[in-house]
Amino acid sequence: MTNQAFSVGFDRLDITPKTGGIPLAGFGATNFRLAKTILDRIYVNTVALGRGKKPEVLFLTFDWINLTGGLVKRFRKTISDSTGFPEKKILIGGTHTHSGPDVYSTMESIKKYFDEVDAVIASTARRAIADMKPAKIFYGNMPAGHEGAWLNFCKHYKMAPVEKRDSWTEEDLVDVGDNYGSEYSSDPEHWFYVGHEEEADHSIQVIRFVRKDADDVIMVNFQAHAMITGQGRDEDGLHPRNMSSDFPGVLCQEVEKLLPNTHCAFYQGAAGNLNPGTRLEKEGIYGLTYAARDCRAYASVLAAYVKKICASKLTESETDVIGFRKHIKTGICDHKDDHRVEDARIVSECWSKVGKHTPEVRELCRKYGFNSPYHAGSVILKSKLPETEEIEMNAVRIGDVGFVTAPCEMFNANQLYIKEHSPFKMTFVKAYSCGRVSYIPSRNTCMNSYERNCTHFVNGTGDEMAEELVEELKALL
């Protein structure tokens, strides 16, 4: 091992689109939800960890919903060609904002935007490496909320048919929150409440790198869908068209205001089934407390927790060891609905023509038994996939802290498993990283939920991933 001191570098690059006609991500919108205004600038935050001026791992986090596998490969090559740093140790992910540029769109405007980003992306890596300064590692966490009121909650509500009140099975369950235009409803005459799918991980975690003669670098890990700015409808029936980094981007700005002389980067956790908001157990209230066209109130509350952690909850790492392990898992794709492709095409064609929720779309979903037009589109997509698909995962050791990545919308139960079984004193789980492979269902995922119907993978894939990531973390010790 080199005798050079552990060091950290940071850079922030503005990648807000320069031209109009950019489609926004989230809410199933691809080519028809074009940005009207820019509420928040879009950035990529880059953190370089290593020794001296020699990085051992690079973290790039975009204010995007995620990145496709093709984009990850493209940006890795661009950065590696410019810096000489190995591609496999360049970890690229998104914050999962539902109001940022839509990376899955096929529009020419988004392709041009990718070219613009690719032309400058290597510059942020070079600057982060040049900014590397000796640092000490501190870490801490606390729950974001108290007395049953939390800033995130599991969005799923399980129901079963009334006639099966005493004999329901997993196959009988429906997910009320995500059923759209189907035969399912929360009508108490037909369905009874079974419970939530699972508890949420309410922790907010912080790594603070205290640098010598330079601003500190703060990494924040929390888990909730970044979709506050997209709540509500605008005048033409679509979700608001304000481009925004949502709470992850605004959180970084708020932390830097509360803690001067710091740089902040946000890392989205396993938010596949977690929403932002408050959960009051005793009153049965579940909802988006800060629902608005602007996420600043929610981001400010989270930033205040980061300040509390930095003020009183930080522990200095006993080591400054850096470790890295890459793991490629073979995911088994789900082809059980291939026989429904023709029905799915009818729904999808209608949805593509109107570009928004209409009575006609809902009626077709009811007629053909799809929970949503997204469900129908997923059936078509899955029918074209091979039997297996590779899933890239990474494990990093940062002193006493573990850090894992997965390229998907992980469910919170799998994140809780990783944290419980990790050998490290604190573990970051960063989803939406190094490729996009849809939702990753756990073994007990409700069979009629939106995520289960739209995922490419069979139930249990998420549990296998969590177990394999824990083994990689153990190997780092």
HEC string of 6-53? Answer: EEEEEEEEECCCCCCCCEECCCCCCCCCECCEECCCCEEEEEEEEECC
Question: Residue 339: which residues within 8 A CB-CB, separation 6 or more?
Answer: none
Each residue's pLDDT tens digit, 92-108: 999 999 999 999 888 99
Q: Tell which phi-psi region holds residue 191, choosing left (phi > 0), alpha (psi between -120 and 50) or beta.
A: beta
Is 442 within 8 Å of 313 (Cβ atoms)?
no
Mean pLDDT confidence for 463-473: 98
If asked whether residues 288 and 377 sit together in one domain, one would say: no
Is 149 within 8 Å of 227 (Cβ atoms)?
no
Closest CA to 421 of 382, 381, 377, 472: 472
| Upper half-sphere CA count for residue 133 (Cβ side, 13 Å) | 12
Q: Which amino acid is at 454?
A: C
Residue 1 resides in a domain = no
If asked whether residues 116 and 208 sit together in one domain, one would say: yes
Residue 296 resides in a domain = yes
pLDDT-derived band at 286, boundaries 50, 70, 90:
low
If asked whether residues 87 and 226 sit together in one domain, one would say: yes
If asked whether residues 185 and 209 sit together in one domain, one would say: no
Q: Which amino acid is at 377?
A: G
Please identify, among 169, 196, 223, the residue that sits at the C-terminal boundary of a domain: 196
The residue that leads in pLDDT, 272 or 60, is 60
The reported pLDDT for the residue numbered 311 is: 96
Q: Give me the number of domains the chain comprises.
A: 3
Averaged confidence pLDDT in the chain: 88
If asked whether residues 444 and 309 sit together in one domain, one would say: yes
The reported pLDDT for the residue numbered 33 is: 81
Task: Count the helices and strands in the chain (H runs, E runs).
Answer: 10, 26
pLDDT-derived band at 331, boundaries 50, 70, 90:
very high
Q: Is the pLDDT assigned to residue 317 strictly greater than 90?
A: yes
If asked whether residues 345 and 360 sit together in one domain, one would say: yes
Q: Domain range for residue 413?
A: 6-148+199-329+388-476
Lowest mean pLDDT among 64-73, 156-165, 172-181, 320-329: 172-181
Residue 320 resides in a domain = yes
**C-alpha distance from residue 320 to each of 133, 134, 166, 260, 314 (Å):** 14, 11, 55, 25, 16
The reported pLDDT for the residue numbered 2 is: 55
Residue 221 resides in a domain = yes
Q: Is the pLDDT assigned to residue 1 strictly greater than 50?
A: no
Lowest mean pLDDT among 137-151, 220-234, 442-456: 442-456
The residue that leads in pLDDT, 140 or 284, is 140
Neighbours of 416 (CB within 10 A): 18
Euclidean distance between CA atoms 137 and 208, whole angstroms: 6
- Residue 307 three-state SS: helix
If asked whether residues 249 and 369 sit together in one domain, one would say: no
Residue 165, classified by CB atoms within 10 Å of its CB into exposed (0-12), middle (13-18) or buried (19+), is: exposed
Q: At what angle do helices 69-83 and 108-130 cross, to 10 degrees?
A: 40
If asked whether residues 53 and 184 sit together in one domain, one would say: no
Residue 213 resides in a domain = yes
Each residue's pLDDT tens digit, 412-422: 999 999 999 99
Euclidean distance between CA atoms 403 and 265, whole angstroms: 14
Q: Give the rounded distance of the alpha carbon of 32 from its chain centre.
A: 23
Question: Residue 384: which residues within 8 A CB-CB, separation 6 or more?
Answer: none
Q: Is the pLDDT assigned to residue 285 strictly greater than 90?
A: no
Each residue's pLDDT tens digit, 164-192: 888 888 777 776 655 544 454 555 667 77
Listed ranges 37-41, 75-79, 275-279; the one with the highest mean pLDDT: 75-79
If asked whether residues 40 and 187 sit together in one domain, one would say: no
If asked whether residues 179 and 115 sit together in one domain, one would say: no
If asked whether residues 182 and 51 sit together in one domain, one would say: no
Euclidean distance between CA atoms 271 and 276, whole angstroms: 9
Residue 399 resides in a domain = yes
What backbone torsions phi and psi does residue 441 show, to the nearest 5 degrees? -75, 145
If asked whether residues 107 and 254 sit together in one domain, one would say: yes
Residue 76 resides in a domain = yes
pLDDT-derived band at 131, boundaries 50, 70, 90:
very high
Rounded to a whole number, what is the distance in angstroms from the first to the last CA of the chain?
15
Is 310 within 8 Å of 218 (Cβ atoms)?
yes
